[in-house]
Structure 1
């Protein structure tokens, strides 16, 4: 045995599983792993929930079963490059780096891979709310989820054909969907203006009262059940016969029998280092504008078809979210994009929204060119992977955690821990083939 392996062996009890990433997916997975009888440690350079999980729209978007782009992206490309506050933005300085990713995205728009993406998204989304109910019931958090549906509204008569086509496509995929008149929508959301001609209602969707509160509730339960948390950055790692050793900036070396890479848009370098697979992961930079003075403006989430953004009521006010920007992980945020969301809201309500003490935010959504996450194990079960959920991270977090727990306890990289029997589910979990690492 070499000296390095000896050192690793001497520290073999640090954790059964080290979870890299303290967002909603990492935390939900850590809790699920701990409940399988595993000794779990979560490591992240930020406090739990302070990355993309802090600022997402809060919408449980089970209706979104289509990839993040379709063939129309080609005609939008000039606008993406020229308009810095448009709903879909590609920073021209980032174009050389983004080009290979976009080429792969376009390749995935061919009929067969596109349908494979739709099937994979639908399978996760159909299982998502049941998984969230199970999880929140166990952490005394059922009140954090509001299952009251959501709307997509339209204002222009010329948009009706597009809305009807979308309704037909979604219905063909089994998405519960209803067509509502403008007056019917205003009966539910009376502060919306008369410009709303009508829209679609998605009864099997919902929203959380606050994304950060959800993470904090999971963290508190995880700590109470023995999950350890460390705030540090994992910079590298390697797999060996005893498990995985990680290099951190402050804590030094950490050893786990297994490791879960769940650090969102930052997951690609570690995945490459630990598995030898280069994952085509990029980031959709998402923005929100939080309006604390608008706590009673809407009863449920409303998306504008033409304006291409969403408004979600959460406990701290009204969150305006949306827009997609491709500019990588290093460029500073363009908060003008967040303030643009307020301008987009003008005309949607009978009276303007109150921007007193409004706060802008930007976060990184991890996106793969086929719009499917990676949920898999590698290196004989020593490396677990859960990332790439783009704007469906919150929606798919609980079911992803259940899948991760299954992967961790069926792998060949065994642990001396006493493992608990897996929980019984009302129906089978999604089959993992669409989310495998080896598709790249």
Structure 2
């Protein structure tokens, strides 16, 4: 697949996808099924980035931005706790400050409401798109659509839960309030200290997020997609399309799709001239291989601010946000802190024997919306910046990208891409 300089660009591929995470791979499947010749490039094996270690939760209920005005009051306490739910590496502050400034500006009423509308449009379409994609590759059993639960422990949290339920209902998010006895009936191993919670029936989880990527890769290869382990170093537009310069040669195609998550900004700037305010929320998980059967579905703690998802290989504890860029070494103590956070949530504490910690990069934009777009006269497609919702929104993003790449009739309504366009920055 390496392309000599004089090669006819139309002989190699219709579209080169840069990024083999859940977004890029889902897009590759959809593009190939439309008859396009697809090549996927990534410096890692498919699914080994953020897609490997996400919480596995299809979080369709999360229609609100990653921050709201209440964070301003809590920020000093949050940032002075090195093991708290949000950490900022002070050495990274000069680079992060412009991003945080944009984040604060997006907390104003009008942009805040635009973000909610944009997130809600994608999330409302996400489960249906996932069902279609999994049916297409004959793997519907990978998804468990059995809801998720947000629990609270303190009596003084009841007002916050009621307020959140009202906000969710205002956005037409299906949600039910569960008393403590309903929580115990559904999840009997949870502690008696649980006061109640909110149940979200239109959510689900994957038993193995990495396997989902692998199954999609298998389906894509069956459609003729080539996956190559190359690092993309640069790119430029030309008369026939796009040329990508990699560590192993040059590739050309009519179109390219930039879907390399937190690493997408440099390539986007090279091809479009647009500097996007993309940063990374470094997320951690702790996988507990000896914990099976503790929970029937994903459970999040309101006060402790982390999520627990039952998976085929055990129980995954995930959460925490760290701003420290792409280059600094992981602080794996933050992953182990997740086990300490779980203490007291169950009648018997979780077994952390042989547990494995992990850290990955969540690509985040300051308005909490992804970029999904077609630019440069259709030569460049963009699909990145999905923050905590990459897994949730991958399948619907793939449908949107397929429509942008090669418009064709479709039998289901797709979200309007206007809120996700590149030119909003």
- TM-score by structure 2 length? 0.98
For each residue in 1:230-271, what CA deviation from the matched residue of structure 2 results, as whole angstroms up to 9, or x when unmatched? 00110110011110000111x210111100000000000000
- Whether 1:339 aligns to 2:336 is yes
Q: Which residue of 1 aligns with 2:233?
A: 235
Aligned equivalents of 2:5, 2:410: Cα separation in 1: 36
Q: Which residue of 2 aligns with 1:163?
A: 161
For each residue in 1:308-362, what CA deviation from the matched residue of structure 2 results, as whole angstroms up to 9, or x when unmatched? 0000001000000001111100110000000000000000000010111100000
Q: 4+ residue runs of structure 1 moved beyond 4 angstroms?
A: none
Aligned equivalents of 2:396, 2:183: Cα separation in 1: 31
> Which residues in structure 2 correspond to 1:184-333 (within 5 Å)?
184-249=182-247, 251-333=248-330
Q: Name the count of aligned residue pairs.
A: 423
| Partner SS for 1:15 | coil
Aligned equivalents of 2:343, 2:193: Cα separation in 1: 11
Asked if the contact 1:9/1:242 (under 8 Å) is kept, the reply is no
Q: Which residue of 2 aligns with 1:398?
A: 395
| TM-superposed deviation, 1:200 | 0.3
- Whether 1:377 aligns to 2:374 is yes
| TM-superposed deviation, 1:278 | 0.5
Task: Give RMSD over aligned pairs.
Answer: 1.2
> Which residues in structure 2 correspond to 1:89-100 (within 5 Å)?
89-100=87-98
| TM-superposed deviation, 1:9 | 5.2
| TM-superposed deviation, 1:186 | 1.0
- Whether 1:358 aligns to 2:345 is no
Q: Which residue of 2 aligns with 1:39?
A: 37
User: Among residues 411, 414, 420, which one is paired with 1:424 in the alignment?
Assistant: 411
Q: 1:8 to 1:301 in 2, by over 3 A?
A: farther
Q: Which residue of 2 aligns with 1:30?
A: 28
- Structure 1: runs of 5+ lacking an equivalent: 1-5, 411-420
Asked if the contact 1:20/1:259 (under 8 Å) is kept, the reply is yes
| TM-superposed deviation, 1:8 | 5.3
Asked if the contact 2:79/2:86 (under 8 Å) is kept, the reply is no
Aligned equivalents of 2:396, 2:224: Cα separation in 1: 22
- Whether 1:141 aligns to 2:150 is no
Asked if the contact 1:384/1:404 (under 8 Å) is kept, the reply is yes
- TM-score by structure 1 length? 0.95
For each residue in 1:147-180, what CA deviation from the matched residue of structure 2 results, as whole angstroms up to 9, or x when unmatched? 0000000000111111111110010000000000
| Partner SS for 2:254 | strand
- Structure 2: runs of 5+ lacking an equivalent: none
| Partner SS for 1:245 | strand
Aligned equivalents of 2:84, 2:298: Cα separation in 1: 22
| Partner SS for 2:406 | helix
| TM-superposed deviation, 1:424 | 2.2
Asked if the contact 1:8/1:242 (under 8 Å) is kept, the reply is no
Asked if the contact 1:8/1:245 (under 8 Å) is kept, the reply is no
Aligned equivalents of 2:281, 2:366: Cα separation in 1: 11
